[in-house]
Structure 1
Amino acid sequence: MNNRLQPLANELDRHWIKLTTIAWVVIAIFYVWKRWAAIHWLSLGDTDDNMRLMQVRALLDGQGWYDLRNYRLNPPQGFDIHWSRIVDLPIAGLILLLRPLVGVAEAEKLACGIAPLLPLGIVLVALGATVRRLVAPLAWPLAIIFMMSSTVALMMFMPDRIDHHGWQLAMLSLTVAGLCDPKGPRGGAIVGLASAVSLAIGLEMLPYCAMAGAIIALRWVWDAAERGRLMSYALTLGGGCAAGYVIFASEANRVMRCDALTPIWLSVFVAAGAGLALLAMMSPGDRRVRVLLAAIVGGAIAGAFALMFPQCLARPEQVSDELYTSWLSNVREAKPIYRHPFRTAFPLAALPVMGIIGAVIATWRARRSASVVGWASVSLFALFSVSMLLWQVRAGAAAQMMAIPGVTALAFFLLPWLLTQRSIFVRVFAGAAVFTLISGSFATVMLGTLPIDKPKPYVQRVNRATGRCMTVPAMAPLNRIPRATIFTFVDLGPRLITLTHHDAIAGPYHRNGDAILDVHHAFKGSPEEARAIMTGHGATLMLVCPNMAESTVYRDRKPGGFYDRLAHGETFDWLTPIPLPKGSPLRLFRIEHGGT
C-alpha cells in the first residue's frame, strides 16, 4: 500500500465501529428525509405494520404485557395474534420519548419512521465484523456499500416497515458474525443469544437457527477444540429461549401450539441446549465417537419431537383445509421463487447467486488458512439461504443479506487489479461494470432493456386501487361517522382500525381462521348468507374497495356471489349507500338488521 495512504488505512482499521456507526447515522437521516412524505402520511403499507402499531398503542394504553389480543378486530372477543412484545419495545420507547415534544400523533409517525432503521445499525456492524475477519480489516466499507445496494433486504429497514423482519435479519447477521468469531466461547454465545432472541420474536428464522446450530455441532465433530464454542452456544440457546419465554411469551402462547415460542418449542430448544452442553462436556478425542454421539443426541431430539408433537410435522399454523386452500396457499410471499414472475424472481436471486460464487471462491482460496472454517460456514449459510427461496420467496431478504460477505470478497479480489490500471477511464468504467455485476444490479439493468414480463394494465389497476384505499385521505372521512363495527375485506381490516376509530372483523392472521372464513363466505356466498354473517358479527356498516386485490378474488373467482353481484351494480334492500367525498376510492354501506 502507498505509504501516504497508510495512516488513513490505520484509522479505518482502528475506528471501524465508530465510523460504521457514523455511516449508519448518515444513512438513517438520509432515508428519514427521503421518505418524509411517507412518514408524514403514516404509510404503513403492510398489514403487519399496521397491526404492530395497534399492538404498541394497546400496550401504551394500559393493555396487559402478556395480553396481545387485539380487541378492535372481531369484537367483542377480539383477535388473537402469535407475536411477542420484543419488537414493540423500541417503537413504544420512541413514542414515549417524542410525544411530550410533538404530541401523540406526530410521535407515532416519527417512531414508525425511525424504529426500522435501528436494526440496520446492528446489521452494518455485524457484516463489518464478518468481512473484517474473513476478507480483510479494510473490507467493511464495501460491506456497507453492497448492503445499501441490495433490494429486498434493504427494504426491511425502511421507514414505516415496523414489523419484525428487520430485527430478525439483525439477529441473523449477528449469528453469522458469531460463527466467524475466532474466539470460540464468545462466538458461540453470540450465536446462541441471537438465535434465542430471533426465536422469541417469531419462528420465521427457525430453519436458519437450526442451520447455525448444525454448523457449530459439525465444527465440534471435526475439532474437539471447539468445545468452548459448543458449550457457550448450548447454554445461551437454552437459557436465552427460557428467558424469552418467561419474559415475552403471551398468554395465548402458553398453550401447545406450533407457530411460536410455546411450551412445545421451548422444550425442544432447552433439550437441544442440554444435549449439546452434554456433548461439549464429554468431548471424546476420537472423531468417530463424536460423530456417533452427535447423531444420537440429534436423533433423540428429533424422534421425541415427532412422537410427542406430531401435529407440528404438518402445517405449523394448524389451519383448516378450507382456510389453507382459500387463503394461506395463495399468500404470495409464501410461494417458491419459481412461481413468481421472472421480473420479480430474477433481480431477487441475482445478488444471492453472486454471493454464493464469491463465498465458494473465497473458501477455496482460504483452504490452507485459519479462515477456511469461517468461510465454509458462510458458504453453507449462503447455499442454504438460496435453497430456501425454492420453498418461500419471503426468504429473499435473508438470502440477499447472506450474500454480502461473498460479494465483498469478490470485490476485494478485483480491487487491486482495478487500482493497477493506468487509465482513469478504465478504472471508472471497469469499476462500474464490476460493481454492476457482483452487486446483482445487472439484473435490474437487463430487465429495463428487455420487453419481457411487463406488468399488465389489469395488475397496474389493481395495485393503484389497493394503494389508494389504504391512504389517510381515503380513510379520514370515515371518522366523521359514529364508531361502528365495519365488515370489510380481510386485508383492509388492520389498516381500517389503525386510521379510524371503527372496529373491523378480520385481518390476515392464521390464528383467527374462523373470522377470515366468515369474510370469505360472506363475499363469495349469496346475499342472504352475506347478510346473516355480517349481522352475526354485529356489523352495522360494510366497506369495500373496488378493484382492490382481494376484491378480485370474490368478483372474478366466484361469479354470481354476493360481491360479484354488488360489483356489477346490483342493489340490495338491506344495504343503504352512505355518501363519501367525491373521488373516494371506497364504497360505504349501512347494513339493515331488520327483515328481509
Structure 2
Amino acid sequence: MSLAEPTNPTEQAPKTSPVRLLFRLLLVAAILIATYHLLDPFWKRVSVWNLADNDDAMRVLQVRDWLAGQAWFDVSQHRFTEHPISNIHWSRIADLPLALSMLITNLIFGPSMGEKVAAFITPIWLGVIYVVIGMQASVALGGKKALLPAIFLITCAPAALNYFLPGRVDHHGLQLIFLATALWGLVAGSRKMAALSALAIALGIGVGLEALPLQLVLIAWVALRWAARGGDVQDETRWFAVSLGLSLALCFVATVPEAKWAAPVNDAIGRGHVVLGVLGAALLSLATFVPTARLGPKGGIAVRLALLAVIGVLVLSGVRIFPELITSPYAQIDPLLKRLWLNNVTEAAPLMKTKLSVILAFALFPVLAGIASIVAVLWAKGKERDLWILAAVTIFVSAALAVFWQGRSAGLATTVSGIMTAALVGKLIEQVNLRTALIVALLANPIIPGLIGSRVAEYFEPKPTKFSTGGGAGCFTERAFSSLKAQSPGLVVAPIDMGARILLTTPHRVLAVPYHRNNTGNLAAYRLFMAKPDEAKVMAKALGATYVAICTRSAEVAILSRQSPKGLMVELRDNRIPAWLTPIEKPKGSNVQAYKVNLD
C-alpha cells in the first residue's frame, strides 16, 4: 500500500469563470420558468377541482374518506344513496399513492389545500417512476444504446402520458407502471426479475381488470417459452409461477374482506380469479420439476406442451365453477342506461367507433411498432427471438383491445410499443448503423406519424358538438357547485356525470354516479328526468329527494331531452320550472342550475 502524495497547500481548485457561471444560472432559470409555464395551467385547474375525469374526483373522495377513518376494507361510498351499494369495485392498492402524498401535503397545507396539492403532484412522481421503469425495460432488451430512444419514445407518447398529467389520480397510470414493470421483469432474464414481473401482474389485477387480457398474454408467454426452452428457463419460470400464485393470494386477502371472499365478482379481483390463478401458477411450478431433459429436444418439448395442455384444461374447466368470469361486468346495467349513458362514455367505446383523427393519434403508433417488432422477430436468433415474439404479440393484442374493445387500452398499447420500439432502435444502433436506427425511429414513433396525421385528419372532420358529455368547467369546479354546497345536506337527483363532482365539492348525497354497480340509482335518476313533471314530482317524493340539479351545458341534457320530449329535463332546459321546484341562484360562471324540492 502506497502513501498518498502530499498535497501542495498553495494549490487551489480551478475557479469557474463568470461567463460559465452566468450561463448555468440562466439555464437553471430557463428550466424553472419553462416548468412553471408548463405546469401552471394544470395547477389552475386542479386548484378549483376542475379535474379531467370523474374517476379522478372519486379517487380523491375515496382517499379523503379513508384518511378520515373509513375502514381499509370498506371501499363503499356512503353518500351514493341512503343505502350505499356494497362498493364501487375499486381497490385500496390504487388509493395508496394519493394517500401517501395527501398524508404529507395535508400536514403542510391543511386538508383543503393539501388534497389539491396531493392531486397535483401524485401523477407527476408516478410519471417519473413510469418513465424510469420503461427506460430500464428498453435497456434490458435493447442494450445501453436504447436509453436515449427510450427517453423520447416513452415520454412523448400522449396515449400513456395523459394518465400522468397533474390531477390524473385515477388508477390507469398505476396500471401502466405495473405493465411496464411486468415487461421489464420478463426481458431482464433472471429469476428474481421474473418474480418481480409476476408480482407486478398480480398487483395490476388487484387494481383492476382492464389489463387482464394482456396480463394473460404475458403469463401464457412464460409458460410457452418454458415448453420451448425447458431447462434454459426453468428457474425463471418456477420463480415467476410461485411469485404469481403467492402475490395473487396476498392481493386478494389484503384488499377483499373475508365476508366477500365467496362473492361472485366479475369486475374486480374475486374468488374465481384467485382460485384459478393460484391453481394455474401452482401447477406450472410443479411442472417445472418434471425431468424432461433426458427425452431429447423434441421429446422434451412434446412432454412440456402436454403438461401445459393438462394445466390449461384444468384451469379453464374452472369457469364452470366460477361462471362470473365469462360474464360481462356491464351485464347488470339496464338496457336503457346502456343506450343513453354507457354507449356515450368515450373511454369505454372501441377506437373503431371514434373519428379517424382519434384512431391515428392513439392506434397508429402501436400498429407501426407491431410491424417493427415482427421485423425484429425475423432478424433475432435464439432466446432473443423469444423476447421479440413477446413484443410483437403484446403490441398487437393491446392495440386490438384498444381498437375493437375499449379505447382506454390505448395507454397499454402505447406503453408496450414505446418500450419495445426503443429497444429495437438501440439494437439497430449497436448492430447495424445509426442511419437505419433513425429511419425506424422516424417511422415508428408516437409523434410524427400519429399526432401529425391526426391533426391533418381533424382538419377535414366535422366540428365537434357544442357540449361535451360532462359539460366542461362550468359543470365541474368548486365554484360551479358553491350555491348547492351552501344548502343544508340532502339528497341531490342529478344526471350521472355530475354525481362524483357533487360528492367531491359538497356535503350532499347523490342518487346517480358514473359507476355500473349503481344501476338502481342511475336508472331512477334518468327515469325521473324523462318523466312528465307531475310524475317526476311523485318519483322525487318516493326517493326522498331534497334537490334536483342539472348542468345546462352537459350533453346529458340533450340526450335525455331527445329521449323524452315531454319530460322534466326538457322543462328545465327551457326554463319552464314546475311549481314543486324552487331555483337556487347560480354563481357567476357556473352552468350548474340547482333547485330545491318543495313537496309540502
Question: TM range, normalised to the smaller chain?
Answer: 0.7 to 0.9
- The match for 2:414 is 400
Q: Give the deviation of 1:49 after TM superposition.
A: 1.0
Q: Which amino acid aligns with 1:280?
A: T
Aligned 1:438-477 pairs, distance under 5 A: 438-450=445-457, 452-456=459-463, 459-462=465-468, 465-477=471-483
Is 1:379 the counterpart of 2:387 in the alignment?
no
Match of 2:116 among 86, 109, 115: 109
Alignment gaps of 5+ in structure 1? 1-24, 422-426
Matching residue within 546, 559, 564 for 1:558:
564
Which shifted more, 78-87 or 349-358? 78-87
Any conservation in 2 of the 1:479–1:501 contact (CA below 8 Å)? yes
Question: Shift in Å at residue 320 of structure 1?
Answer: 4.1
Tell me which of 39, 42, 47 is aligned to 1:40. 47
Which residue in 2 is equivalent to 1:300?
A: 314
2:532 is the counterpart of 1:526: yes
State which drifts further: 250-259 or 340-349.
Answer: 250-259
Length, aligned pairs only: 559
Correspondences of 1:425-444 after superposition (within 5 Å): 435=442, 438-444=445-451
Q: Percent of aligned pairs with the same residue?
A: 28
| Residue type of the alignment partner of 1:313 | I
Matches within 5 A, 1:140-155: 140-155=147-162
Equivalences for 1:577-596 in 2 at 5 Å? 577-594=583-600
* Partner SS for 1:82: coil
Aligned to 2:164: 157
Equivalence for 2:522: 516
**Which entry has the higher C-alpha Rg, 1 or 2?**
2
Deviations 1:385-429 (A, max 9, x none): 1121222211101111111134324544776899989xxxxx9xx
Q: Is the 8 A contact 2:141 2:188 kept in 1?
A: no
Q: Secondary structure at the match of 1:66?
A: coil
- Pairing of 1:40-439 with structure 2 (within 5 A): 40-77=47-84, 80-183=87-190, 185-225=191-231, 226-250=233-257, 253-254=260-261, 255-285=263-293, 286-305=300-319, 307-322=320-335, 323-367=337-381, 370-389=383-402, 390-409=404-423, 411-412=425-426, 435=442, 438-439=445-446
- Rounded to whole Å, the distance in 1 between the matches of 2:250 and 2:259 is 17
Give me the TM-score of the superposition, normalised by structure 2: 0.86
Distance in 2, matches of 1:115 and 1:237, equals: 28
Contact (CA 8 Å) 1:71, 1:79: kept in 2 or not? no
TM-score (norm 1): 0.87
Structure 1 window deviating more from structure 2 (109-118 vs 392-401): it is 109-118
CA distance in 2, matches of 1:433, 1:227: 35
Aligned to 1:13: none
Please state whether the residue corresponding to 2:288 is helix, strand or coil: helix
What secondary structure does 1:371 align onto? Answer: helix
State the match for 2:541 in structure 1. Answer: 535
Structure 1 residues 190, 26: CA separation in 2 closer, same or farther (over 3 Å shift)? farther
SS across alignment from 1:511:
coil
1:216 CA displacement: 0.1
Distance 1:49 1:438, change over 3 A: closer
Residues 23-47 of structure 1: CA deviation (Å, up to 9, x unaligned): xx99999965562222322332211
Write the letter of the residue equivalent to 2:284: L
Cα distance in 2 for partners of 1:263, 1:29 equals 47
In structure 2, stretches of 5+ residues that fail to align are 1-31, 294-299
- Relative to structure 1, the CA distance from residue 272 to residue 293 in structure 2 (aligned partners, 3 Å threshold; closer, same or farther) is same
- For 2:121, the aligned partner's letter is I
Residues 258 and 317, structure 1, Cα contact 8 Å, conserved in 2: no
Aligned partners of 1:382 and 1:402 also within 8 Å: yes
Paired with 2:120 and 2:35, the residues of 1 have a C-alpha distance of 10
| Shift, 1:231, TM fit | 1.2
Letter in 2 for 1:257: V
What letter matches 2:479 in structure 1? P
* Aligned partner (choices 508, 516, 522) of residue 502 of structure 1: 508
CA distance in 2, matches of 1:418, 1:178: 27
C-alpha contact (below 8 Å) 2:56/2:167 kept by paired residues:
yes
